[in-house]
Amino acid sequence: MNLHTKTSNPAFRLFPHAVLSALLTVALLMPAVASAKLVTGLPDFSQLVNKTSPAVVNISTTQIVENRNPWMRQRGEGGQQPGTPFDDFFRHFFGMPYEGGPEPEQKTSSLGSGFIISEDGYILTNHHVVDGADEIIVKLNDQRELEAEIIGSDQRSDVALIKVDAKDLPTVKLGNPDDTTPGQWVVAIGSPFGFDATVTAGIVSAKGRVLGRQQYVPLIQTDVAINPGNSGGPLFNLDGEVIGINSMIYSRSGGYMGLSFAIPIDLAMNVVEQLREDGAVARGWLGVSLQPVDRDLAESFGLEKPMGALINEVFADSPADKAGVQPGDIVIRYDDKPVGSIEELPPMVGQTKVGDTVKVVVVRDRKEKTLNVTIGRLKDDLQAKQQSKDKDSGPEITRLGIMAGDLTPAQREQLELPDSGVVVQGIQQASPAAKAGVMAGDVILRFAGKKVDSQEQLRKLVEAVPRGRSVPVLVLRNKRAQYLAIAPADPE
């Protein structure tokens, strides 16, 4: 309708511009109304915090170390002698004792968080929060400060159990991390930089992350702001249940960068149970070395896509060795659970009870094979094999572009390889072996699924590879075995 056209309605004759203005105002307000509804739909964490924060504690630790002051050693060994005008200067600015007095002890302190899991004073925190502490002080939500003792601590999982002498304490409710999925809201409460009862919130970014030495712990990744002092504090879901212990951050600056990691609470409680009963934690051990399966390796082993965990070494007399596991096997299922990648297998094995027999499904020679493995106990000091770097010249294997030679008896004894292995003595630039990552000094153990006994056998195996086909090659390098996918050059 044209607003300037005559009409019988007096309102439009008298107030045409007012009507137009009202319509525009309503139109402009519609997005704001929708936005307001969106904002009101966000979670309110206040009730959750009020309910759970009384069970969250601040943990401060003190460690006493000897003060080995280099200035004192210098003075006692021909340096500045006592009785000079500089005595007061050194004592005041460098904390030096008077000559003849004992060297003072230095105290270092750190802060962390924790949460109460039982009314009689058991508290969960991180191993690195209390490790090496000579004194542990727990500050409760009601401002009481109590001294705590370490019941048990496990470095591999970064879980520690401590206890204070108190009764009728508030406790947290434990949840199930398996029910948590990426995208769900989570809340952390702790003492970053010593600021007690600090609340931060975010979402679960991913699950099953494996980092560094914590390869037996499938961490929960979040974007919750975690900083120094949050370590050991609880990670809550929206039901107010603890699903994890905040343990670490990924940071280039030392501060929060949106990558925070928590230990699943079910795994932590399993550690706690073992610490209470035995004072130590027993983890399952398979006895193999693993590497990821990339696209090239998957094709060379006959897989449709990269999947599973590739075994590149089986330790002698290990559970895997006794069960018939071989280098080149790709684990695709463990105890009826699929193994999608290398990161998934160590936590599965580590959480298996020592002595249990589990079914392990592997791909071998492009077929699935089921093995029954009785899991052993993980040790901290597994011995690795040593590698020879002998550079004697040998015959050339042209389709790979390498110079290869048989191992000497001394080399075989050193490497514990009584009847297998060929050493790579030289390699051509831009050759198939070089492109695959083979290096001089590598020992070729297996080629295309066959054990390599001599350089002459290796030559025959290479010549038998069809044109354009990629095959898996197991090499020993820097005390570790690994598979490489190599496509030999076309025969001349």
CA gap 100, 82 in Å, rounded: 10
Catalytic residue among 113, 157, 191, 231: 231
Report helix, strand and coil shares of the chain as percent, to nearest 5. Answer: 25, 35, 45
**Surface-to-core class of residue 479, CB atoms within 10 Å of its CB (0-12 exposed, 13-18 middle, 19+ buried):** exposed
Residue with tokens 């191992």: 407
Reported residue count of the chain is: 492
Cα 196–chain centre separation: 27
Contact of 459 with 431, CB cutoff 8 Å: no
53 is catalytic: no
**Residue 11 φ/ψ region, left for φ over 0, alpha for ψ in the -120 to 50 degree band, beta for the rest:** alpha
Q: Which residues pair with 242 in a beta bridge?
A: 174, 236
158 is catalytic: yes
Catalytic residue among 153, 154, 157, 158: 158
DSSP state of 383: P
- What b/e string do you get for 66-104 counting C-beta neighbours within 10 Å, with b at 16 or more? eeebeebeebeeeeeeeeeeebeebeeeeebeeeeeeee
Angle (CA) 5 11 17, round 5°: 65
DSSP state of 51: H
Both tokens of residue 411?
Answer: 């080399």
Residue with tokens 């069809």: 466
Catalytic residue among 128, 131, 251, 390: 128
CA gap 220, 204 in Å, rounded: 7
Spell out the residues 6+ positions from residue 255 whose beta carbon is closer than 8 angstroms to its own: 227
Cα R_g (the chain), whole angstroms: 33
128 is catalytic: yes
Give the active site residues. Answer: 128, 158, 231
